[in-house]
Structure 1
Amino acid sequence: MNGHSNGHANGNGKLHQLPNDMFHVIRSTGTAARLGRLALPGRRILDTPHYLANTSRGVVPHITQDTFVRDTNISGLYIALEDFIERAPKDVPPLYRFQHPGGGSPLRKFIAAPDDAVLVLGARRTSPVPAPEATSNTNKTVSICTAVGFRALKSEEYAEKAESLQADILVGLGDIPYERALGNKRIEKATDRNIAWLEEQVFLRRSEEKAARAHLFASLLPVSCAKQQYYIEELTGQFADHISGLAVYDLDSLEDLPAELGQLPRLSFAAPKTPRDILYQIQRGLDVMVVPFVGAATDAGIALDFTFGPSSDTTTNGDGAHFNGHESSELLPLGIDMWSEDHAVDLSPLAKSCQCYACTTHHRAYLQHLLSAKEMLGWVLLQIHNHHIMDLFFASIRQRLANGTFEADVMRFEQKYESLLPAKTGQGPRIRGYQFKSQGPGEEKRNPKTHTPFKMLNDGKEKLAEATLPDPNANADDLQAQGFAQKES
């Protein structure tokens, strides 16, 4: 262990052992923003607002399990079932067959996640690839995108298999039309499906001999509660004793959320694209969120660099912002493009005063070299750093909510930083098929060629053979005329 060992490794992470309620609100503000605590038996306590690290096939991209424990402070993971079941039902996925001899959660053992990390399981990734119209959801299935293309996941299969994996939190199946608007008739159909699928999940949990281990979060449709009123009435009625939280896919669902559901934890899948989006979602009352842009920034070679609330190098007055002791009219970037050759000889850390493993052990010049050489370690260090920045960001948010200065600090943050992350300038890791939707024939390839055809290996030899050698008795003027050399003046 080194000096960067965290709560996973040394036991300093707070674990919940008391039989209190899973979630309770500690403090509410003048807006919908609130300070809370999510506590699950034997897991690290999530003081909210908080975030879940996004995963690919059960792991945080670029982070091995030992690095996760030693060099990060990530408290929870969001895992998508569609990552593991590309050959089902023809071939039984290894995840379904796996049974650890020591018992416990098959999912946790299969992905080798730490025992204290909170695991949240859902059907689809965040952000998912939208399904084509031809393979959209039906009354009995949802369309998922696997490593071998789109396929239909039966609601009964999801209910049974997701329960057997024993995650800490299970996101109920929802008829979510990603990147498509819901018309009135479509809302009615989606409402009926959500109710039927939730009934199926609850019935299965009732019929099991053992008590269900996962806390069930009901998926809200991405519309206001008024437009899905029948479903909301069922959540506050027959399902009230069976759900432990809400999965939110659009902020419109929070506008008229009934008081009966107000005390439940809210898990956001609205996929914020910037830190400002995170702050806005918190202002609207979301408690836990999945933040895909952290991994996207890592792949783009961007080191996040922002803080929330007052800091030692930032002051403000009535006229404008002052950074590092002088007034600045320019907004600060939210991150640093580590592909830039400006960092080639820069021995400073990725972010000033950052105490993550990457910043205390390495420097910008080394990271720039790793990216230029396409070394995997470059993205490993960036991922460690970027998640550390996110940990500090949410910790500061919670502190400002406790102090009652959150709204003022949001305004200062908007005055200090740019609204968007820096543009991608370098070529990151290869993009996989399940990360984007194909547009059809003639589409430009997402991954550039990393080599030239073999016939080019002899290209230089052929050119030399075709070239006319200069006469041994030629003078400097003759050599220059033939393009063989340049005469010095």
Structure 2
Amino acid sequence: MAVLEDSNIVEPAAEMLSFNILKAQKHDRAGLRLGRLLLSDRTPIETPHFISITSRGAIPHITQDTMKKHTKTNSVYVALEDFIEKAPRETPPVYSMPAQHDTSALRQFTSLGQNTTMIMGARRIDPIACPAANSNSAVSILTSVGFRQLESEDYAEAARKLQPDIVIGLADIVFGQKPGLKRMQKMGDRTGWWMEHLVAACSEQPEMSEHKQKHNKKPAIFAPVLPMSQGQQHFYLNQLEEELRGHIAGLTLYDPTSVTEIPPGLASLPRMSLDGPKSPSDILYRISLGIDLFAIPFICEATDAGIALDFTFPAPKGVATSEPKQLGTDMWSSEFAGDISPLQDGCTCYTCTRHHKAYIQHLLVAKEMLGWTLLQIHNERVMNEFFAGIRATIAEDTFETERKIFENAYHSELPEKTGQGPRVRGYQFKVNGPNEPKKNQASYTTLDDSRQCIEEAAAAAAIPSPGEDADDLAAKGFAEKAE
């Protein structure tokens, strides 16, 4: 267990990150609130807001320069398991990346812009369940070379070396199933130990020159709140409130109802949801509880499925009285082959101002990767405008009214996927058991008629056996008998 010595640590939370609550429901820890998250040298984040999820440091389907030019993304989530392969047995390239004096090694490695807030966690969102359980000193992860264990001290050292803006503490959480009573007793103890490792590593003052010390920025730490009752994690929450309060800058939640378990001494910290809401209605529910930041997997899932998001908040006037509207448009449908309208009426994104539905539908059918790139640009913009509308209604005290109108105006779930989508990448594989069908279809296949002709030709031209005479060979067409 790491021991925190006052002589070797400083309190980094205040110097790196500040969170101002601009408006909140009084005397209520679980309620609407409007805020602003400020980090040194980064674009301020108005909350509630969302965090773009990356794959190896880049938002799927778009490059870093495209993200900067055509989206309003100001924060990204990066998973350490995307980069570490066989560490610590073999040093991964990200640890060998030479960092500039004014940027971190991870930011340099991923070519992320200087104004974008980088948030690092151990696992992807949504994480793939691992066959091995967590231990007292490590969590199970899935790297590009398979399942392995990530030691708590190695994760803490990675946070210190890679220097993200925000690092999320390790949490002993069981993914894919409900933990038993004995396991729940261990979860709080393990998470508390791992938080001590992380705080100790990020608070160290290494010996270096004054110039390097100035640019050696420490990551702000977000502590996990476990998805169980306050009584079951009482000692862990007390540890956060009494021992580690000066070293943590925010909280991460894996269950929206955990908001009610937050102690009063931690209520003013920003709250980040990592439980992966499945629809806009899920987001609105979490915002009503007082959650500030969201990692939203369904943005990329919609893009992969060829779905263009099509919703606004507040809902357009008059929609609530008619049939509920779909939350997105399935661009695989042949009905859009001649449709030259934009993906969403009134949308000002790059895709909608320069292209139309017919072009996007053609790209998807032809399996041109530009189709998914244009969809991702559009879907990111739709989500940005969605949260901008949410913040405006909170400021005007009309959020709950508009939320009810929205839920009546739109379907509760996204449309069903009909197209094949791009090839499934490794982190998208959901391992359910043996003898599963292939996730990716073969790019080239033999047609049935052609296969039959090939088989007949192969049989006709079979290699003769030594016992066959000249008449048999001539009958098969292998050769002509010489007279």
CA distance in 2, matches of 1:152, 1:274: 32
Contact 2:203-2:218 at 8 Å conserved across structures: no
**Superposition map of 1:234-245 within 5 A:** 234-245=239-250
Q: Deviations over 1:340-381 (max 9, x none)?
A: 000000000000111000000000000000000000000000
CA distance in 1, matches of 2:456, 2:203: 78
- Gaps of at least 5 residues in structure 1 are 1-17, 323-327, 467-489
Among 429, 436, 454, the residue aligned to 1:436: 429
Q: Which residue of 2 aligns with 1:38?
A: 37
Equivalent position amino acid for 1:267 in 2: M
1:463 to partner: Cα distance? 8.0
CA distance in 1, matches of 2:184, 2:90: 34
CA distance in 2, matches of 1:225, 1:53: 30
Among 283, 289, 296, the residue aligned to 1:291: 296
CA distance in 2, matches of 1:282, 1:455: 54
Equivalent position amino acid for 2:318 in 1: T
Q: Which residue of 2 aligns with 1:15?
A: none
**Superposition map of 1:115-264 within 5 A:** 115-132=114-131, 135-209=132-206, 213-264=218-269
Q: Which residue of 2 aligns with 1:368?
A: 361
Match of 2:245, SS state, is coil
Q: Which residue of 2 aligns with 1:301?
A: 306
Match of 1:39, SS state, is strand
Among 409, 420, 426, the residue aligned to 1:427: 420
Q: Which residue of 2 aligns with 1:70?
A: 69
Count of aligned positions? 435
CA change 1:464–1:344 in 2 (3 A) is: farther
Q: Which residue of 1 aligns with 2:318?
A: 315
Q: Deviations over 1:217-262 (max 9, x none)?
A: 1111111222200000000111011100001111231123211110
Contact 1:29-1:404 at 8 Å conserved across structures: no
1:445 aligns with 2:438: yes
1:24 aligns with 2:23: no
Match of 2:176, SS state, is coil
Equivalent position amino acid for 1:280 in 2: Y
Equivalent position amino acid for 2:308 in 1: A
1:86 to partner: Cα distance? 1.6
Match of 1:404, SS state, is coil
Q: Deviations over 1:144-200 (max 9, x none)?
A: 011221100011100001221111101011111112223332122111111111111
Contact 2:202-2:219 at 8 Å conserved across structures: no
Q: Deviations over 1:97-129 (max 9, x none)?
A: 111345521111110011000100000000010
Contact 2:25-2:33 at 8 Å conserved across structures: yes
1:465 to partner: Cα distance? 12
Contact 1:224-1:252 at 8 Å conserved across structures: no
CA change 1:441–1:185 in 2 (3 A) is: closer
Stretch of structure 1 that moved more, 162-171 or 30-39: 30-39
1:388 aligns with 2:381: yes
- What is the RMSD of the two structures over their aligned residues, measured on CA atoms? 2.2
Equivalent position amino acid for 1:229 in 2: H
Q: Which residue of 1 aligns with 2:339?
A: 346
CA distance in 2, matches of 1:465, 1:182: 58
Match of 1:426, SS state, is coil
Match of 1:96, SS state, is helix
CA distance in 1, matches of 2:91, 2:202: 23
- Gaps of at least 5 residues in structure 2 are 1-13, 207-212, 460-483
Provide the TM-score with structure 1 as the length reference.
0.85
Runs of 4+ in 1 over 6 A off after TM superposition: 18-21, 461-466
1:208 to partner: Cα distance? 2.9
1:392 to partner: Cα distance? 0.1
Provide the TM-score with structure 2 as the length reference.
0.86
CA change 1:376–1:200 in 2 (3 A) is: same
CA distance in 2, matches of 1:235, 1:261: 8
Match of 1:246, SS state, is strand
CA distance in 2, matches of 1:292, 1:220: 20
Match of 1:107, SS state, is helix
Among 330, 337, 345, the residue aligned to 1:337: 330
CA distance in 1, matches of 2:114, 2:454: 60
Contact 1:149-1:434 at 8 Å conserved across structures: no
Equivalent position amino acid for 1:187 in 2: M
